[in-house]
Amino acid sequence: MKGKLVDKKELSTEGKIKEAARKVFQQKGYAATRTRDIAEEAGINLALLNYYFRSKKNLFDIIMLETVSSFVQSMTTLLNNEDTSLEKKVELIVSHYIDFFTQDPNIPIFMMSELRDNSDGLIDKLQINQVVMDSVFFKQYREAAEKGEVAVSNPMHFLMNLLGQIIFPFIGKPFLKGIGGLNDKQFNSMMQERKKLIPVWMETMVEVTR
Amino acid sequence: MKGKLVDKKELSTEGKIKEAARKVFQQKGYAATRTRDIAEEAGINLALLNYYFRSKKNLFDIIMLETVSSFVQSMTTLLNNEDTSLEKKVELIVSHYIDFFTQDPNIPIFMMSELRDNSDGLIDKLQINQVVMDSVFFKQYREAAEKGEVAVSNPMHFLMNLLGQIIFPFIGKPFLKGIGGLNDKQFNSMMQERKKLIPVWMETMVEVTR
DNA sequence: TTTTGATTTAAACAAATGATTTAATCAATT
DNA sequence: AATTGATTAAATCATTTGTTTAAATCAAAA
């Protein structure tokens, strides 16, 4: 009745096309998506897609930009919280992105496979490097490193580990489900467990001196 | 002069097509690959592709089966070495796959994105679950868990962590390169560092009792 | 040399697909 | 009710793309 984000009928035609495009693109990727798939999913006539968005590529670019932007935006917010410790930030990041990807499990593979070669320079355009490297989080990390509280030589390793622990399960899902004989419910349950486990693992990893 | 695997000119036409298909499919994925791309890459007439392999889909299935099989095959060998400890196995797995994916960096995204929904049941067909769960490695892991030497509740978490540490950097490469301002050489250098780091991290992670 | 079967080539076909056109329909305003 | 502009539907176009056809070429056997 009242839900704007749930009830498709309250979306404008333009909005319906965009939501359908998001769904189909994220599920099948750019090349495997037919404009007719999007039109059908949106419940609109094919011509409308070009009427509102000019071309398939243009529509895709909009979806991709929004998808990556929302990822980067929340990352920016989480990394620059002045009021939380390093450890708390890790907790919040883990929790946020596990919930985020549990809701839209296709986003990791979608982003990674479509940005394979970063051909249109989207990553550079969004200045992800500054977002991460100039963040409060990394300032805190470097301070802790100076005090000797943290011993992972290169902060990029720390980042690879953190993101890998969070994102990889969603990417390797078909393999992992096959190996562990898991259904969707069991998989999601494990991801919820990881909200508590990953921060602990990150903590111990970081303390290794070698 | 003598190298079979290096010198394309010594490959049969069928072999040239297969190698070209492997390269293009792994780089661009099934849907984005044109049969003409493969023909051009192989330096052969387009009709030969269908002459030797019947259809694009059939050729793709062959490449995909070989790719996943070689992954599973080496995994099977490494997991079932009777003469090495748990710790040594982790070392060998890390080292092997980092070298393997450094040589063919497209394989992780290729496998993961094309097996998204595991639609043709390839994963089940290869019985990856038995390969992993019935392995010497997991027997050793469960024994160590009984002795209390290992404290990660679910061995699937251990697997997610191990594979994530190894594979995720290759999948998130465009992001990570962007964030860290890395070139290919620096990226590969970090991956070589991880050969030593990941086993240590896995060790410490596993000891956490919580 | 002739023959025979395998291999290769150039050309063409048919279906799929992104995009456009043209006219009909709808909703709001006068 | 009539008008007007926005929205929608159906048909069509032009190109791409997987596949096939038919003939030419090559290599080995007879």
Is residue A3 assigned to a domain?
Answer: no
Is residue A125 assigned to a domain?
Answer: yes
Residues A74 and A166 reside in one and the same domain: yes
Summarised one tens digit per residue, pLDDT across range A131-184 is 999 999 999 998 988 888 887 668 899 999 999 999 999 999 999 999 999 999
* Min Cα–Cα distance to chain B from A31, Å: 5
Number of domains chain B contains:
2
d(CA B115, CA B19): 21
Residues B181 and B105 reside in one and the same domain: yes
Residues B121 and B170 reside in one and the same domain: yes
Residue A19: which domain range? 10-54
* Min Cα–Cα distance to chain B from A10, Å: 31
Rounded to 5°, angle at Cα B49 from A32 and A119: 40
d(CA B43, CA B22): 14
Whole-complex ipTM: 0.91
Specify the pLDDT at position A8: 35
CATH of the domain at B19: 1.10.10.60
Residue A209 confidence (pLDDT) above 70: no
Is residue B59 assigned to a domain?
Answer: no
Residues A111 and A195 reside in one and the same domain: yes
Residues A144 and A94 reside in one and the same domain: yes
Which pair of tokens denotes residue B85? 């400890």
Specify the pLDDT at position A5: 28
**A131 Cβ neighbours under 8 A, 6+ residues apart:** A72, A75, A76, A79
Summarised one tens digit per residue, pLDDT across range B51-102 is 999 999 999 999 999 999 999 999 999 999 999 999 999 999 999 999 999 9
Residues B180 and B108 reside in one and the same domain: yes
- Residues from chain B that touch A114, judged by Cβ atoms under 8 A, are none
Q: What's the Cα-to-Cα distance from A58 to each of A13, A68, A187, rounded to whole Å?
A: 17, 15, 35
Class of residue B103 by CB neighbours under 10 A (exposed 0-12, middle 13-18, buried 19+): exposed
Strand D, nucleotides < 7 Å from a protein CB: these are 7-11, 16-22
Is residue A156 assigned to a domain?
Answer: yes
> Quick one: closest CA in B to A171, which residue?
B112
Residues B27 and B120 reside in one and the same domain: no
Specify the pLDDT at position A94: 98
- Residues from chain A that touch B168, judged by Cβ atoms under 8 A, are 160, 163-164, 167-168, 171
For residues B166-181, give the mean pLDDT.
96
d(CA B16, CA B39): 9
Q: What are phi and psi of B134, to 5 degrees?
A: -95, 15
Is residue B88 assigned to a domain?
Answer: yes
Q: Name the percent of chain B lying above pLDDT 90.
A: 82
Residues A26 and A82 reside in one and the same domain: no
Reported confidence tier of residue A210, pLDDT bands at 50, 70, 90? very low
Residues B47 and B125 reside in one and the same domain: no
CATH of the domain at B112: 1.10.357
Residues A26 and A46 reside in one and the same domain: yes
- Nucleotide showing the shortest C1' distance to residue A48 CA: D8
Residues B150 and B97 reside in one and the same domain: yes
Strand C contact with A47 (CB < 7 A) = yes
Which pair of tokens denotes residue B14? 């069928």
d(CA B95, CA B198): 10
Is residue A143 assigned to a domain?
Answer: yes
Helices (H), chain A: 13-28, 35-42, 46-53, 56-79, 86-103, 107-114, 122-125, 128-133, 136-146, 155-171, 173-180, 184-207
Residues A73 and A168 reside in one and the same domain: yes
